[in-house]
Every structure is written in C-alpha cells, then in structure tokens.
Amino acid sequence: MPERIYNFSPGPAVLPYEVLEQAAKDVVNYQGKGLSILEMSHRSKDFTNVINEAVDLLRELMAIPDNYKILFLQGGASTQFAMVPMNLLGPGKTATYLNTGTWAKKSIKEAKPFGKVVVAYSGEETGFDRVPEQGEYTVAPGSEYLYLVSNNTIFGTQFHQFPDVEPYLVCDMSSDILSREVDVKKFGLIFAGAQKNMGPAGATVVIIREDLLEKTPENVPTMFRYKTHAEKNSLYNTPPCYAIYVIGLVLKWLKGLGGLKVMAEMNQDKADLLYKAIDGTDYYRGHAQKNSRSLMNVTFNLPSPELEAKFIAEATQAGFDGLKGHRSVGGVRASIYNAFPREGVEKLVSFMKAFEQKNRP
Ligand code: PMP
C-alpha cells in the first residue's frame, strides 16, 4: 500500500484500500473484458450482474425483508428530502418530524409544500447536542410517518435505539448506514447518500416497503416516483453505474469482514478510544451529550477557537486530514466511518495528548 494520510473527511469519505485497488483496475479494463467499467452499457449483461449483486448483498447484509425494494437513485440524499413527502404525503395528510440538526431541518423545509408537517422535537436550543428519547415527543395523530435522521453528521449525535411507532419510520441513514444492525421492519423507507459508508458520491440508496409504492399522488412526475425505479430495478434511465459498482465492492468487503455485527463492534471500539481520550481531560470537550454520542462523527472543542485552528493546522501537517468541524458549529470533527482504520484513531489520540501538553493555556 502506498503511504496514505488519515482521512477523517465527513464525506465523501475514506474507502477500503482494496476496494480502491480493484476499482482502479476495472476502470482501465473491467475483468479483462477489454473495456472500462465506465464505458459499459447499463443494459449489458455485465452491468445487470453488477447491479443485481449489489442489491443482493445489501439485502443480505442488512437482512432486508423480501417485501422491500432496494433502489439506486441520483440527486443525493438532499433530493430525498423532497421525494419522500412528494410520494408519501399529499393534501390533508400529516407527517411528524424530529429536528435533530441541519439535515433534519432541511428535510422539514422540503416537506412543508406537500402536507402538514408537525415538528415534535427540536434540539435547536441546546445546539443539537442530543437526540430525544421516545416518550419525550408525541407523534401527531394520523401521521403518515415519523421522520428522523439516525446520525447527525454535523453535530455528532446518533440514535442508539429506534422508536417503536405506528405506522412506520422514515429515516435518513446517510451517515451511519451499514455501521450496525438495524431492524428494517420498523422502517417504511430508509435512504442514504452513498458517499460516507457505502461508496463514492453519485448514488443514493433507497430501501422502501413495497406497499408504499402505491401511495404516490397522480401528479408526481415519472422520475420522482419511487415506483418508476422499483419496477425497473433502478434501470428506468441510466443509473449512477460506477457508484453502484463501487458500492458492490464495498459490500463484498463488508461481508468478508463478517458483516454488520462485526462492523458494529469495530466501530464501537474505535469510537470508545476517542471518547475515552476526550473524557480523560478537561482540555477537550465533547459536543454531544454522552448517551447521544455518535460512533461515526466525533465532535469536540478545545479551550478556544484559536487553539482549535492551531490543532487543525498541526494535525493536517501531521497527516490527519478533514478534522475541521462543520462551518456551522466549529471545533473539531473526526469522522470515523466503517473504512477508517483503528490505527488512525490511535494516532489521533496520541496527537491529542501531545498537543494538550504543549498547548495548555
Ligand atoms: N443527510 C445527512 C445525514 C448528511 O450527512 C448529508 C450530507 N452530509 C446529507 C443528508 C446530504 O447528502 P447529499 O449531499 O448526498 O445530498
């Protein structure tokens, strides 16, 4: 392996090196067939195999029941903010949303034109430092769904349990899909941009329960109807072929590691290391309340913005990239998705200790 920096980017994010190597080979010559994966028709037999394999692996890894469709769409997770209510709401219908951060807020805004939106919880006043417990909010009577963001990438908070609600949950899992096991049956719809835990940017995975495909109002355009894509195995039009292919490689890698249970243990172990370092001193202060801490995005502050800037500058020099907190919150954010190596977390912890010693105010 050539020398690689430790890439703490929140997304697009680090990918397994073996996946990159395989993808690089197939970009030049796909499995010795004399053409690039980039040049292949989406209608070809080879690509049909690529997409079917990705769907089957995702179904297997996440234990997705047969009455759910798996779609690979474009437009990013942000398009789903509108596509969900466009398909599942309508005049006179209600949905309940939990406002746990920037991405939840954006989805609330996008839902409003399509029905009645009830915001049952907002973490805005406490700087989105936690997610709510079930029982702290009420799902509005007659709601079509309860919408939540499983992991708040910017603030570093995460739901460690999903509420049991009727009739079903809709979840933006962009930044923690495939990081742990989830009970898919609780969800009517799950979506996730690929560029954090699944592959490169360009594809958005949607997992949707089949009966919901019938809910879409008549006036929704063809490309924005889930059913259009579900009926054609995501091949109604040209899909994000390359992204789907790389997702397939990542899924194979995950399966080879032992699947989501093993992945979850690895993620817990990595996050514990970092949180232990934060809790071991008053120099670093975690942004999230302890029981809402994200295992994917670890957010923390130093005693001053000046020290934070110095920390990030010196960390970058030392080969740690992407640690700057989101512009809306500042501080430091270490994104340690599935493919981020434990060794990188260990090295960051050593760096933090040394930095503190040299820079105590
Ligand atoms: N939801 C979450 C939780 C995210 O972290 C992001 C991107 N960081 C988005 C949605 C938006 O994704 P996209 O850029 O694919 O639209």
Token pair of 27 as six digits: 């970009």
Residue 37 has pLDDT above 80, yes or no: yes
Mean pLDDT, rounded, for 178-196: 98
Cα distance between residue 182 and residue 338, in whole Å? 15
pTM confidence score = 0.98
The amino acid that residue 98 corresponds to is L
Token pair of 213 as six digits: 């495909």
Protein residues whose CB sits closer than 6 Å to any atom of ligand 1: 11, 76-78, 103, 149, 153, 172, 174-175, 193
Domains annotated for the chain, with CATH where assigned, are 17-257 (3.40.640.10), 259-359 (3.90.1150.10)
Spatial contact of 84 and 134, defined as CB atoms under 8 Å apart: no
Spatial contact of 332 and 308, defined as CB atoms under 8 Å apart: yes
What's the confidence (pLDDT) of residue 361?
A: 75
**Residue of 105, 196, 227, 252 marked catalytic:** 196
**Ligand 1 atom at shortest distance from the alpha carbon of 80:** 16
Q: To which residue do tokens 């034109």 refer?
A: 113
Mean pLDDT, rounded, for 272-277: 98
Going by alpha carbons, the residue nearest to atom 4 of ligand 1 is: 174
**Residue of 26, 103, 176, 324 marked catalytic:** 103
Cα distance between residue 51 and residue 73, in whole Å? 12
Going by alpha carbons, the residue nearest to atom 9 of ligand 1 is: 77
Model confidence at 161, pLDDT cuts 50, 70, 90, reads very high
The 10s digit of each residue's pLDDT in 232-245 is 999 999 999 999 99
Model confidence at 299, pLDDT cuts 50, 70, 90, reads very high
